[in-house]
Structure 1
């Protein structure tokens, strides 16, 4: 997150577009008429400073707990066992991730 300090949204988007120019979805980053939202996702946690920076920058963040909550609420990669408790279904999660 610290590496983004002082960098403009447009600069970040251009670097992504340059690095992945062969990807069809990335071409849309160059379209100035489309809205752009920056989102930073981590399987770890954000420090207070990192979260404050992201908020100031207008960036949406998602940490480990939010990822787990989103997957649970969308019922992605999980199943209820016989006792009614949620269990991770790694095959279903892999399938969802690779579609």
Structure 2
């Protein structure tokens, strides 16, 4: 996975009305979590060229079709594993390969 280049000024980091953060080349990981109901943006996130991490407690119609660790990365409700998972996906060669395969779907 690529790392986000550090912003050198606040102006570089601030959002512009005409910019879409989902189209920037450095966006390689997206996190989706359910609220009081299922997330409506999960499918939109899957269409991006990025690794999608998903935290959910709902059973959805696609559960038999979209496979964790093949189409997205499943995160537990406690998120205990999140720091180690991010370290694996970013710094481990096998994690980088898994990220690339997940992006391709």
Q: Which TM-score bucket, shorter chain as reference?
A: under 0.3
Bigger relative contact order, structure 1 or 2 (CA pairs below 8 A, ≥6 apart):
2
Largest Rg, 1 or 2: 1
| TM norm structure 1 | 0.26
| TM norm structure 2 | 0.25
